Amino acid sequence: MASVKYKWPQNVPGEFYVDECCLDHHCCAEIAPDHFRRIDDGGHLYVYRQPSNPEERARCMAALDTCPMAAIGCDGVPPKLFSLSWWRRILR
């Protein structure tokens, strides 16, 4: 199971990420090419764009489900959690 603790620093902030278990075999980028990309000098993939609608999220989930190393996580902190309204709700 992927871990936020071991995610690659190249992942853009958000729900989905790739962690250090990635084997660099490119399957996720074939399933969701608008979201997963190989780092230029090789070695692993990372999330370069988070999904912004249900269809894109479904593609990212399909990539997660087919990753043989369970290197894709979907429990990263979405950027919207840092919004002012979210903090107001938490601090009440």
Closest separation in Å from C-beta 38 to ligand SF4: 8
Q: Count residues binding ligand SF4 (CB under 6 A).
A: 13
- Which among 55, 38, 51, 60 has a CA at the least distance from the CA of 80? 51
Contact stretch for ligand SF4 (CB under 6 A) within 3-11, 54-62, 63-71, 78-86: 63-71
CA distance 63 to 56: 11
80 counts as binding ligand SF4 under rule CB under 6 A: no
47 counts as binding ligand SF4 under rule CB under 6 A: no
